[in-house]
Amino acid sequence: MKKKLTYTLVVIFCVLSFANAQRHEIGVQLGVSNLVGDIGKPNYILQKPLRNISENGLPFYGGLLYRMNFNPYQTVRLNLGYNHIQFDDRVAKENYRRMRKLHGTNSIVSADLLFEYNFLPVNDEQVSMLSPYIFGGVSGMYMNASKPELTINSATDVEVSYKQNKSFTMAIPFGVGLKYKFNYNWALSGEFTFRPTFSDQVDYSFLEEKDVTVNSTNLDESQTAAIVQGFIQQRNIGNPNSKDWVNSATLILSYSFGRPPCYCK
């Protein structure tokens, strides 16, 4: 009985001590997401939804975040997010893109580890404060990838079908934001995030030999390789040295809790 009472008092003490502290933050993040790639309108932020929303969905970003505030200015942040991006040559300004009429969507799950610097001590214990901030870090992205399958019946008869597989890539996210803290523990932030990736396949515009599966019983290896190379050269578009960017404009609502840090001078 005595042990149970002690445990209960410890739990109550921890809950009460966490009530007015500023050590940790958890929050939700919502906004719009867009692609800068070889297909579609190359807007860096605030892309309009494609026509036929029922089929293409919305350019959307949604996620959860955790911040650890080391001092009033510096924060390490973990984001877990979902991006739905759209790309459509028909709305591009460039004539050559509008003539191609290529379009599509992709879904991306991302995990971002970021360092955040506030220009004012917004993470300190106060009723309210407004501060701009900058951030940067590293990101892992798990996305859809289009894998073509060539069924070769003869040297001149090639049927192509596409399968959706998953592909992993990295990115270097960075951006700017504005954070407004209110009512001691709550904060509302708005930010622009730019994610240059290490992939040119977010819009399915670039293929490598390993991405193509060949079904053939009549051709030898050299003939099959020649057909694959011809298909890739015809299929690939854009500049393979220019990688895709996945960007977002979002709002964050977060709540602070936890043991207050010791800000030693």
Residue 219 counted as domain residue: yes
Written as six digits, the tokens of 198 are 């290490």
Residue 141 lies in a domain: yes
The CATH number given to whatever domain includes residue 112 is 2.40.160.20
217 inside domain: yes
Provide the pLDDT for residue 13.
39
Rg (CA), the chain: 24
Q: Is residue 71 part of a domain?
A: yes
User: What does each C-alpha distance from 154 to 218, 220, 248 come to in angstroms?
Assistant: 7, 11, 47
The tally of domains found in the chain comes to 1
pLDDT tens for the chain, residues 1 to 265: 445 444 544 443 344 343 333 689 999 999 999 999 888 877 777 777 777 776 777 889 999 999 999 888 999 999 999 999 988 887 788 788 878 888 888 999 999 999 999 999 998 888 899 999 999 999 999 999 888 888 877 666 778 888 888 899 999 999 999 999 999 889 999 999 999 999 999 988 888 888 888 887 677 778 788 888 888 888 888 887 889 999 999 999 999 887 654 544 4
The three-class DSSP label of residue 222 is: helix
Tell me the one-letter amino acid at 48: K
Is 177 part of a structural domain of the chain?
yes
Q: In this structure, is residue 263 part of a structural domain? A: no
Cα angle 80-255-14, degrees, rounded to a multiple of 5: 110
Helix (H) or strand (E) segment spanning residue 55:
helix 53-56
Domain that holds residue 37: 2-257
**Size of the chain, expressed as the number of residues it contains:** 265
**Domain assignment of residue 264, yes or no:** no
Residue 51 is encoded by which pair of tokens?
A: 């026509």
CA distances from 174 to 18, 23, 151, 205, 241 (A): 31, 23, 43, 25, 21
Q: For residue 257, what pLDDT is reported?
A: 84
Cα–Cα distance measured from residue 207 to residue 233, given in angstroms and rounded to the nearest whole number: 9
In angstroms, the CA 42 to CA 245 distance is 10
| Within-domain flag for 265 | no
